[in-house]
């Protein structure tokens, strides 16, 4: 098996390369997602037996000003990839997001719950989901949340950086979700590819770390595990305004993924410990 991966330096793409020697990772210089047709052409020519799209426009706030660009990268490009995969009957995995929901539910989101993105980023990812489904091939859409790793920009690395100069921080406490390590997402993607290749039917799935927590409690655990003496005070989202609205409830029901692919929800606290050790090294 060989897996063509769109993305090379992002959090999940980096972990895919670390975990599998079967991965052929394409950077922006080889596969520009602003050119969906060129991405499709690469799939038409590849000898790979499966495709994972691990590249995306992820600047949530900036997307409010660049929605057209975000929609090409997150919507049109994966749609074109999925169509090219369908022509060749290649399994395709598309990583999506909790931002396709509006966060208004008081219970974990189910896969079949109505979507209603609050902002441009969520709309662009939803466009990708619709295109992947419409392509009619073998696919899995993996919605995930609060991604962190030792690579790139993420909440864990931001908290560690701030702790170098601050002994007290105010963190939003009324947004609840499941922090998810990029390494866990990569492992899930690889297992899904194996299942799809073996004939398992796919669909849309949720995957996030457990237990669900607030950003404030996530920060507390980061500081505790990193032995950083930082006091965290809870604040509401209203006290930390951002250009793009965030879902208040990002909790996701992940049981479908376990039922279909035997992929259990990972404990993000254990994954955090591994990431912190990775950063030390």
Catalogue the active-site residues: 121
Local structure of residue 143 (DSSP, 8 states): E
Residue 8 φ/ψ region, left for φ over 0, alpha for ψ in the -120 to 50 degree band, beta for the rest: alpha
Residue 140 · residue 197 · CB < 8 Å: no
Phi–psi pair at 54, nearest 5 degrees: -110, 15
Residue 129 · residue 93 · CB < 8 Å: no
What torsion do the CA atoms of 131, 134, 140, 146 make, to the nearest 10 degrees?
A: 30
How many other CB atoms are there within 10 angstroms of residue 223's CB atom?
18
Residue 244 · residue 60 · CB < 8 Å: yes
Query: In a 3-state reduction of DSSP, which class is residue 56?
Result: coil
CA distance 258 to 134: 25
């Amino acid at each position: 098996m060989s897996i063509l991966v769109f993305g090379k330096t992002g959090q999940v793409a980096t972990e895919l390369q670390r975990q599998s020697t079967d991965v052929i990772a394409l950077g922006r210089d080889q596969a520009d997602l602003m050119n969906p047709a060129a991405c499709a052409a690469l799939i038409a020519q590849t000898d790979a037996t499966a495709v994972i799209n691990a590249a995306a426009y992820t600047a949530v706030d900036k997307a409010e000003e660049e929605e057209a660009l975000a929609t090409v990268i997150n919507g049109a490009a994966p749609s074109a990839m999925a169509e090219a995969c369908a022509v060749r009957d290649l399994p395709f995995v598309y990583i999506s997001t909790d931002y396709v929901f509006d966060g208004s539910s008081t219970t974990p989101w189910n896969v079949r719950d109505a979507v209603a993105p609050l902002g441009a980023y969520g709309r662009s990812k939803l466009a990708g989901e619709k295109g992947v489904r419409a392509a009619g091939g073998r696919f899995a859409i993996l919605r995930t949340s609060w991604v962190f790793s030792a690579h790139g920009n993420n909440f864990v690395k931001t908290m560690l950086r701030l702790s170098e100069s601050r002994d007290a921080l105010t963190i939003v406490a009324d947004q609840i979700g499941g922090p998810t390590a990029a390494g866990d997402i990569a492992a899930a993607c690889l297992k899904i590819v194996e299942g799809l290749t073996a004939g398992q039917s796919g669909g849309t799935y949720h995957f996030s770390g457990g237990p669900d927590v607030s950003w404030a409690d996530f920060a507390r655990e980061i500081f505790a595990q990193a032995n950083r003496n930082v006091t965290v005070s809870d604040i509401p989202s209203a006290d930390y305004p951002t250009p793009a609205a965030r879902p208040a409830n990002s909790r996701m029901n992940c049981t479908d993924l376990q039922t279909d692919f035997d992929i259990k929800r990972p404990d993000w606290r254990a994954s955090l410990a591994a990431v912190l050790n990775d950063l030390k090294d």
